[in-house]
Chain A
Amino acid sequence: MNSLTKARKAQRWAPYFFVSPFFLIFGLFSLFPILFTLYISLTDWSLNGASNFIGFGNYAEVLQDSRFYDALLNTVIFMIMIIPPQIIIALFISVLLTSGKVPFVGAFRLINFLPYITTSVAVGLIFGILFDWNFGTVNTLLQNLGVSQEKINWLGQPGPARIVVSLVTVWKYFGYTAVMFLVGITGISRQLYEASDLDGATKIQQFRYITLPMLRPVMLFVVMTTMIGCFQIFDEPYMLFTGMGSSLIGGPEGSALTGTWLIYDNVFGSLSRFGYGSAIAYVLFLFICMVSFVTFRMMNKGEEE
């Protein structure tokens, strides 16, 4: 009897014991920094300097910083330029690969997943060479095909630079997104399709009325994570624009400056302004929360109709 109560007691404490490593590491290295950043944002802390509490001074400065608005605008532009193509391509692939009509499914899946496993430093470097102004493969190809007479200065002008960054990002993540959709489609009951077959539904109707609605949770997940990802874009453009000799912080005219890059530049670049960088992080955090919330509401609203 005694040993039994002891065992039951152990059983009661065990779950807390098992979750503690996660929450310990998480609390110490993720939660604490996020909260502590809020405090730092209210000081004028800089490298080796003493920190003085200055209230909302940094925030006032952030709201007058043109580079902050660049980063905000770029994040929104990237959301628009990246999310739709990535979702369309990924959906297309996943529907095709689950249709049972295309052979070599395994090989295609692996090849389309390759970009995701490639180091972003390599991705930045290679796309930098492919999109080189004078001798890059892309310009040569466009000229040979007669698409454009002039060589495009991909990495030197704001518009093209954003196109390159979006292309790189879509290229890197569409295979991963496709796997998410594959998972979702595989989870849809075959009976739904069989029943609609009997009712004479076309493939397109099945996609519109079965696949898409059933994929809603996955879609929500993909859209939200990609949106947050747009704020984090850093590695590839950092390599594209500061990799080979040049040092265009934020790309041409700040066209590829994202939230992460702006924080990086203020804190770890030339300036070492911890307080100011923290304030940027928090304003951006609020912005992302707002955008996520609105998107979440919009996408869930569709379900009620």
Chain B
Amino acid sequence: MRSIRRMTPGSWIGLLVMLVISIMAFYPFYSMLIMSTYQSNDLYTSIKLLPGNYLGENFKTLFSIDFLAYYKNSIIVAISTTVLGVLVSAAAGFAFGKYKFRFKNVLFVSVLLTMMIPMQFGIVAFVIEMRWFGWLDTLLPLIIPPAANAFGVFWMTQFARSTIPDEVMESARIDGCGETSIFFKIVLPFLRPAFITLGLLFFLWSWNSFFVPLIVLSTDSLYTIPLGIRGLAGQFRADSAAQILGLTIGTIPVLVFFAIFSKNLIEGLASSAVKG
């Protein structure tokens, strides 16, 4: 990074424009933090730039509903999906990246094509299927189906292809290592950087998911955060400030993860994705 003192006029203009765009990107996010400290009625009176003094009350409202249960559900769902999704993607990516086998190209192209088909097209049958399985109003439809993610497979394939040396696999085989233990003992450590990036994305998608939970969940105590917070509007009164506080607290885990791993995420994406 160049130092500020050596900046040319052109860089100053660039910096200024970047600042303006960033403020616009940040302002709604900032107002989310600020709004959670006001009384709902005050949200509609003037532009708020500084925190208010209603945070405690909003916390009380928030905990008068089953907010901790929503949090717990979100954590269960997001972590399970992330672990399962990363493993499923890594296994498939490893196979596509490091083996030659019949139908490989057909299968891989079908993975790429499915990246273009949103699940909304099959949502009606999906719900009927969930009813058959007895999975309606459980957390399972939020955990298992999202674990098979075409983007994840594509991404792991790119990564596996470029990072796992054939020689290491061969020498493991000569030492009598089976294919499954090659996967768990050799491949998984090599794929670690990819795990972090993909894991973050899986976690994010799952944590913020709204459409499917809205459709499959009907018991209040099973709600995830976005759904539970939405329910708060109907429960006794439309308390926007308390809702926003809930969403702020709900955003914190993702924010912390991203702050810690943002370098990994962006460099991770840069290392392989999209280039295809």
Binding site for B on A (CB under 8 A): 3, 7, 10-19, 21-26, 29-37, 40, 89, 92-93, 96-97, 99-106, 108-115, 117-123, 125-127, 129-130, 132, 134-137, 140-141, 171, 174-175, 179-180, 182-184, 186-187, 217-218, 221, 224-225, 228, 231-232, 234-235, 239, 243-245, 259-260, 263-264, 267-268, 274, 277-278, 281-282, 284-285, 292
Contacts and interface: CB of A to CB of B under 8 A. Distances in A.
B145 interface: yes
Most buried by A among B21, B111, B243: B21
Contacts of B119: 30, 33
B229 interface: yes
A113 B226 contact: no
Contacts of B214: 268
Nearest to A97: B18
B234 to A, nearest CB: 9
B109 interface: no
B134 interface: no
Contacts of A129: 31, 35, 43-44, 240
Contacts of A278: 124-125
B244 A125 contact: yes
Given A119-B250, A122-B247, A22 B29 contact: no
B122 A140 contact: no
Q: What 4 A-B pairs are tightest by C-beta distance, nearest first?
A: A33-B122, A29-B145, A25-B148, A14-B179
A243 B233 contact: yes
Nearest to A132: B44
Interface of B: 1-4, 7-8, 10-11, 14-15, 17-18, 21-22, 24-26, 28-29, 31-32, 35, 43-47, 87-89, 91-92, 94-96, 99, 101, 104, 107, 111, 114, 116-129, 144-145, 147-148, 150, 153, 173, 176, 178-180, 183, 204, 207-208, 210-211, 214-215, 225-226, 229-230, 233, 238, 240, 243-244, 247-248, 250-251, 254-255, 258-259, 262-263, 266, 269-270, 273-276
Contacts of A104: 1
Given A34-B121, A119-B210, A15 B230 contact: no
A33 B123 contact: yes
B195 to A, nearest CB: 16
A284 B165 CA distance: 45
Contacts of B26: 111, 114
Nearest to B246: A122
B18 A96 contact: yes
B25 A115 contact: yes
